Amino acid sequence: MISFNRVTKIYQKDWVGLKDITFQIKQGEFIFVCGPTGAGKSTLLKLIYKDEDPTEGIIKVLDWNLGTLRKNNIPQLRRKIGVIFQDFKLLQDRTLEENVAFALEVTDIPPRDLRKKLMETLTYLRLSHKRFSYPFQLSGGEQQKVAIARALVRDPYILLADEPTGNLDAKSSQEIMNTLFDINYKGTTVLMATHDLKLVKKMKKRMIYLEEGKLTTHN
Amino acid sequence: MSLQISIREGIKTITRNGSLFFLSLLVVSISLFLLSLFGLVTINLYYSLRILDEKIEIIAFLDEPADITTLKSNILKIHGVRDVIYVSSDQALKELQRELKETEEVLSIFEENPLPASLRIKLDADYRNAQGLEDISGKIMLLRGVKETIYGGELVDQLKKITKAITAFDIGLLLIIVFSVIFVIFQTIKLTIFARSREIEIMKLVGASASFIAVPFAFEGFVQGFVGGLIAFVLTIITYQIAVVYFFGELYFHFWWFFFGDIACGIIFGIIGSGVAVQRFLK
């Protein structure tokens, strides 16, 4: 489903983002991407949804070789990948419902199907009662659930989570983790970047550990 | 993406970012108004200079009696002469009386009409200069019945130089204004789009195509340009009316030229400005 073959990412002024990374991820896996701040976790996720291009190496995601993927096909790739962030990246001037519907509107889904899919997703995440609230009216945990809803609403094959619990309290973090596990249980491949090793050890999932852009542990 | 969704998204974008939209609209309107106003000045300057140029003529005073018909046809045969108008001594007096309305008593000292009959000779544009006037005047003087000719001579060339300088200055100023207006409009639109860079970033993240992102912004640019152009046009009309009533009495103004000109400039600048600004985010 995802494969990195000797991937290196070097930013401006020779700053190494990732160095010679090779790994494969199968469909339905749950992977933690760990490492200290600046280790290259976010870079790795950005390479998967082609927000960045590698300096060297081959990346394959789903059926695409990202090196040869044309620019106008990038939206097709991103429609199959959901991404959530530590800072949620919600549009503050839109309601919860509008934030989630937004992800469906970019595709040419008929309005009736859009409505149905939207309600299904909001109900699954127990957000439907707050669908007319604006992000600033929601708690951090609820905002992250909205971000998850936006990522999930199109039934992605892959869910990328970049420090999704970084801004949340213990209770909300646990709730988000449970949601991510449930999503994974239903078949979606999940990659979660985190620096919380305690959490990773507790969950007993596969882990990719990065340090200064290099893959040091892979189990 | 269908045009319907694009327009709906565009309208949503405008309503969601109302204050930003109106601020930008204000700048676009004022910029287009300045452009329109300078267009009005330029057109009137151009027309005034053209009228002034057309007034360059030769006046041939005639002997008494003279064969007017033959003289007219002979002058018309001269290369560079466009038209010949006969002014009898009575007509000349009436014209003078009209011009000296407030000092009529000056003429009362004459018992008889002192003004001779004359021919006003209009020239083709290429001959409205010192050399052309001198050449044609020389040929007219050779004709029987012509007593004397008068024309501007060197003054005409000086007038031409001044006219050229004014025109060049005006065109230079117009270009500066056009570029300034385009710059201001583009920068304003760019700032409003930059203020929504997060929205564009999220659109890209959820897999919005380039056209899905760009078309609503282009629509917003279109609306801004259209409304801005309309406001500029209304402001131009008001300024024109004030100028006519309080200052000039008469000015050249072509309603539809200005109407379509303002709106077309607004729409073109609006759409291109939005397109250029949003393009930065789509790279």
Whether residue A114 lies within 8 A of chain B, CB to CB, comes out as: no
Q: Where are the beta strands (DSSP E) in chain B?
A: 57-62, 81-87, 118-123, 146-150
User: Quick check: A44 and A91 in contact, CB under 8 A?
Assistant: no
The predicted model gives B90-115 an average pLDDT of 74
pLDDT of residue B1: 53
A72 interaction partners in chain B (CB closer than 8 Å) = 209-210
Closest among A152, A145, A150, A148 to A187, alpha carbons compared: A152
For chain B, percent helix, then strand, then coil, each to nearest 5? 75, 10, 15
- Name which of A76, A78, A93 is nearest B206 (Cβ-Cβ): A78
pLDDT of B176 reads 92
ipTM of the complex: 0.83
Contact criterion met (CB < 8 Å) for A78 and B201: no
Within 8 A of A158 by CB-CB distance, chain B residues are none
With a pLDDT cut of 70, the percent of chain B lying above it is 94
Tell me the Cα Rg of chain B: 30
**CA B231 – CA B34 distance, rounded (Å):** 12
Edge-to-edge strand ranges of the sheet holding B146-150? B81-87, B118-123, B57-62, B146-150
Q: How many CB pairs under 8 A join A and B?
A: 49
Looking at residue B8, what is its pLDDT?
76
**Share of residues in chain A with pLDDT > 70 (%):** 99
My answer on whether omega of the bond before B65 falls inside 30° of 0, hence cis, is yes
Q: A106 touching B, CB under 8 A? A: yes
CA distance A154 to A190: 15
CB contact under 8 A, A93 and B16: yes
Say whether A94 and B205 touch across the interface (CB within 8 A). Answer: no
Residue B160 confidence (pLDDT): 81
Nearest CA-CA partner of A126 in A90, A104, A152, A87: A152
**Percent of chain A having pLDDT more than 90?**
29
Domain count, chain A: 1
**How do residues A66-123 score in pLDDT, each as one tens digit?**
988 888 889 989 989 999 988 888 988 889 998 998 888 877 788 888 888 899 899 9
Delimit the domains of chain B by residue range.
Answer: 3-51+161-282, 57-151
Q: Do A93 and B202 touch (CB under 8 A)?
A: no
* Span B131-184, pLDDT tens digits: 888 888 888 888 888 888 888 767 777 888 888 898 899 899 989 999 998 898
Report, as an integer, the average pLDDT of A168-174: 84
User: CATH no. for residue A80?
Assistant: 3.40.50.300
A188 contacts A158 by C-beta, under 8 angstroms: yes
**pLDDT score at B238:** 95
Q: B87 pairs with which residues across the strands?
A: B118
Nearest-Cα residue of chain A relative to residue B3: A108
Q: Is A103 touching B (CB cutoff 8 A)?
A: yes
Q: Which domain holds residue A99?
A: 2-216
Q: What are the pLDDT digits (tens) for B67-85?
A: 788 888 888 888 888 898 8
Least confidently predicted of A64-73, A100-109, B101-110, B256-265: B101-110
Query: Which stretch of A182-196, B113-127, B229-243 has the lowest confidence by average pLDDT?
Result: B113-127
Instruction: Quickly name the fold that domain B57-151 has.
Output: Alpha-Beta Plaits (3.30.70)
Is A107 within 8 Å of chain B by CB?
A: yes
Question: With a CB-CB cutoff of 8 Å, which residues 24-63 of chain A face chain B?
Answer: 49, 51
